[in-house]
């Protein structure tokens, strides 16, 4: 199959690769670029495990072709922490026991980050809506909702 060039910014770094035409962004990230933080669950847009942020919007990387992402700004959970310092969302997920097996966690973090980037003071309903496309089989969702609200509170206290 023909190879096509893809070039985008991944977590702030310029990234360029050749992938087979038709390769999903998920597979390009995991198999070619080595960022395994987006997870492959259903590969058909149903579970949210592969969620990444593309140009500020939450996207399912299993449904995007890598070749359509040239020039994009892509953010994954691998780029959330700042050096050794956890992002407030990661800290809150740990503190609230919002991760168990962890398979859904990177996608949940991307959904939560997209929410807080657009709406720094969400209601519980806003959080439920924001993570409604992400399946978690372990936590029962309540710890995740608490963690997102905790991170939002921490962010607003740091800002004040």
State the residues that interact with ligand FES by CB under 6 A: 40-43, 45-50, 60, 62, 99-104, 136-139
Between CA 116 and CA 53 the distance in angstroms is 13
- For the bound state, the minimum distance from the C-beta of residue 76 to ligand FES, rounded and expressed in Å, comes to 13
Between CA 45 and CA 107 the distance in angstroms is 12
- For the bound state, the minimum distance from the C-beta of residue 104 to ligand FES, rounded and expressed in Å, comes to 3
Compare residues 121 and 127 and give the one whose CB is closer to ligand FES. 127
- For the bound state, the minimum distance from the C-beta of residue 149 to ligand FES, rounded and expressed in Å, comes to 18
CA dist list (Å): 86 to 37, 50, 80, 123, 136: 15, 21, 7, 23, 22
Compare residues 45 and 56 and give the one whose CB is closer to ligand FES. 45
Between CA 115 and CA 41 the distance in angstroms is 22
- For the bound state, the minimum distance from the C-beta of residue 157 to ligand FES, rounded and expressed in Å, comes to 27
Compare residues 100 and 155 and give the one whose CB is closer to ligand FES. 100
For the chain, the straight-line distance linking the first and the last C-alpha, in angstroms and rounded, comes to: 54
């Amino acid at each position: 199959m023909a190879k096509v060039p893809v070039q985008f910014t991944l977590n702030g770094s310029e990234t360029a690769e050749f992938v087979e035409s038709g390769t999903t962004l998920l597979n390009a990230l995991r198999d070619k670029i080595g960022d395994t933080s987006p997870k492959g669950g259903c590969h058909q847009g149903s579970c949210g495990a592969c969620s990444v942020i593309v140009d500020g919007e939450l996207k399912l990387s299993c449904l995007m072709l890598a070749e359509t992402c040239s020039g994009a700004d892509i953010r994954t959970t691998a780029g959330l922490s700042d050096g050794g310092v956890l992002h407030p969302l990661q800290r809150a997920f740990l503190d609230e026991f919002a991760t168990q097996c962890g398979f859904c966690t990177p996608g949940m973090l991307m959904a939560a980050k997209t929410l807080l980037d657009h709406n720094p003071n969400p209601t519980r309903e806003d959080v439920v809506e924001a993570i409604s496309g992400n399946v978690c089989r372990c936590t029962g969702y309540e710890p995740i909702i608490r963690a997102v609200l905790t991170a939002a509170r921490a962010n607003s206290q740091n800002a004040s």
